[in-house]
Amino acid sequence: MYKKKKVCVIIPAYNEEKLIKNTVETVPVYVDHILVVDDASEDKTAEIVEKIEKVNHKVMLIKHEKNRGVGAAISTGYIWCRDNNMDIAAVVAGDGQMNPDNMPDLLDPIVENRSDYTKGNRLVTGEAWYIMPRRRYLGNSVLTFMTKIASGYWHVTDSQSGYTALNKKALHILPFKDVYPRYGMPNDFLVTLNVYDMRVMDVVVDPVYGIGEESGIKVHKIVIPLFFLLIRLFFRRMLHKYIIRDFHPLVFFYAFGIFLLLLDVPLIIRLIIRWTLDASITPINSLAILFCTLIGIQSLFFGMLFDMEANRELKGK
């Protein structure tokens, strides 16, 4: 136990035969349960864990019959923790990229009831720029900015970090079966946490790379799909948090801003056509573009400002 709290570490794993043994064996001794969720690995990941399971009573293996994605593996772990009455569910990747020495920093805010969900932040110190692969760092930064807007957690950075901890209250409230099953899970989960008014806190953790991990993530293939996912998540949050569950006028500012900026598109097309055909610019067309752009951006900024204020209390302390 950790400070009288039962802790389970969830390790989602897919083809991690090289590093899964070390990951499991370096989990801190105060952890009560180590739950490895094998997402239908094609290598010997499950075999290795089964051998460890025989000699370490803390270790348990759950195997997916087919590959469902890292998000689904984490959700499976959360459901097990909920059903087995865990106080805290921590998540550690199966590739050894999380420093176990940082775990108390994730657990303490939850034990002390200062946060419902803590997540590692590898970007805040600046070391990540030199340690993380450059493409991953830049892709992560772009997704972090977009996730701030989509989730309403404007203080959160390093949105793709998988080093997290969740408290008992959230385990019993959140709809884990509805969580996005694949790589966009951290973004989707933050939106879900916001809809349910959960406190979220960033915790500084060490970026760990160059230990033999082989990432299957292709940044150029992920950023665009996640961009559209984040747009959907933003509108889902607006609907569920500010219309269905409660009402907030910030939806009008967002809606008006988006409407004006969309109205810009046909106006700009018309301007280009007129300029191409007869090299002339209609003053009223230009003024309309200027009006829609300035007022549209201003409305979005007002929406963001009200959103920040509405979520101010959800910043862990």
Distance CA 121, CA 104 (A): 14
State residue 118's pLDDT score. 97
pLDDT in tens, 260-310: 999 999 999 999 998 888 887 888 999 999 999 999 999 999 999 999 999
Written as six digits, the tokens of 152 are 């309403």
pLDDT in tens, 3-51: 999 999 999 999 999 999 999 999 999 999 999 999 999 999 999 999 9
State residue 206's pLDDT score. 86
Assess whether pLDDT exceeds 90 at residue 212.
no
State residue 219's pLDDT score. 56
Written as six digits, the tokens of 307 are 């959103």
Distance CA 154, CA 293 (A): 24
Calculate Rg over the CA atoms of the chain.
22
Assess whether pLDDT exceeds 70 at residue 71.
yes
Assess whether pLDDT exceeds 50 at residue 213.
no
Going by C-alpha positions, the residue among 58, 5, 18 that lies closest to residue 36 is 58
Assess whether pLDDT exceeds 90 at residue 211.
no
Q: 73-77, 166-170, 272-276: which range is least confident on average?
A: 272-276
Written as six digits, the tokens of 126 are 């600046």
Q: 42-46, 93-97, 101-105: which range is least confident on average?
A: 93-97
State residue 274's pLDDT score. 87
pLDDT in tens, 118-138: 999 988 766 666 667 667 777
Predicted TM-score (pTM) of the model is 0.88
CA atoms within 13 A on the CB side of 167: 19
Distance CA 1, CA 164 (A): 18
Backbone torsion region of residue 52, taken as left when φ is above 0, otherwise alpha when ψ lies between -120 and 50, otherwise beta: alpha
Written as six digits, the tokens of 160 are 């793709």
Answer yes or no: are the C-beta atoms of 142 and 223 closer than 8 Å.
Answer: yes
Task: Lay out the sheet containing 33-38: strands in order across.
Answer: 59-63, 33-38, 7-13, 88-91, 164-167, 117-121, 200-204
Q: How confident is the model at residue 225 (pLDDT cuts 50, 70, 90)?
A: confident
Interior angle at CA 251, CA 227 and CA 231, nearest 5: 10
State residue 214's pLDDT score. 54
What phi and psi, each to the nearest 5 degrees, are found at residue 110? -80, -45
H or E element at residue 194: helix 185-195
Distance CA 10, CA 175 (A): 17
Going by C-alpha positions, the residue among 8, 6, 9, 10 that lies closest to residue 37 is 10
**Domain covering 7-242, topology:** Spore Coat Polysaccharide Biosynthesis Protein SpsA; Chain A (3.90.550)
Cβ of 23: how many Cβ atoms within 10 Å?
23
